[in-house]
Structure 1
């Protein structure tokens, strides 16, 4: 919503709108931006709570994303519950290399044929990933064909966002170490935003989602900006 347009439509002062937007932001119901606000992502809750959110959507996204890993290849897996679902979708006999900064992702790969490299650093418990200087330095030494990126918001104007500045910085480092970056976007993330930008839309290869494009204005806007959309192959 644009504050000045809403004020004119409702016939109230812009100061009243700005005050209401501050309250919505404080309650986690909107994200204030210059001139107005964007829908807040529901995916900013802690890791344990997220394991119960949009499970079917995450499974569909994971099934599509799992096809991007190939025998003999190297893939970077971000942390998060959607990438955890990708592990379940990967064939256990797939011989590849997985690099991750998530202990939960590494542990889930124990019974897989994949070679696993875990990047160390300060553990950000909210998302169960390492970040900070040590993790960034470790990431600078690796490279991969594919990075499967988790975010909390995908929005045509805000781009790809997440709720923590250090985590956003780590995601940018990992994206810089891969030839192609694919965004994992389950349904609840499309059209929402969080506080910190990870990447602009033109710096990723494609968005993997299960949201149907027919009648979805957000996806229409993304496609109009040249964003490729990938869905599960049936």
Structure 2
């Protein structure tokens, strides 16, 4: 017999309303321009309610970006659950974030503005990348000098690529090229890396 799911408490629901509202406000107006007053208005709560959950705009900004990042990573992971190859999983994850920069630039810009400085982001989002890296190493698809060095290469390259796409310095072909470059950097043969980076992305829930 399955355990029934517990109903979120009123406090949990209100916190989620504020996080969802923060994402909408920051994505639409930018982190600098978005205000606490706008967030509470979109959430449909009184201004004073905000401070029962968050102390500053920066605090909710970080919490909202991490919540979106974790949810997005879970959706990506679900989309490739049927794919056993760690190298292909790595390629899919990175390309998905780059595609977001092309298709949902406001949301991508909001997330990337937090990812670079947030220790919470590193703790909750980067394990998804590390899992694909570990699998690829175990399968002998990747040959690296060290896991920390590989993680720096993967995240740094992806963040730089997303910023290039957001700035209009690169186009759609950049997505596969960057993915192939990361796979090559992880020790894959150029031919294999290029082929994997060009494979179609599996659909995500909601698409």
Q: TM-score, normalised by structure 2?
A: 0.30
Give the structure with the higher percent strand: 1
Q: Which has the higher contact order (CA 8 A, sep 6+)?
A: 2
Give the structure with the higher percent helix: 2
Q: TM-score, normalised by structure 1?
A: 0.28
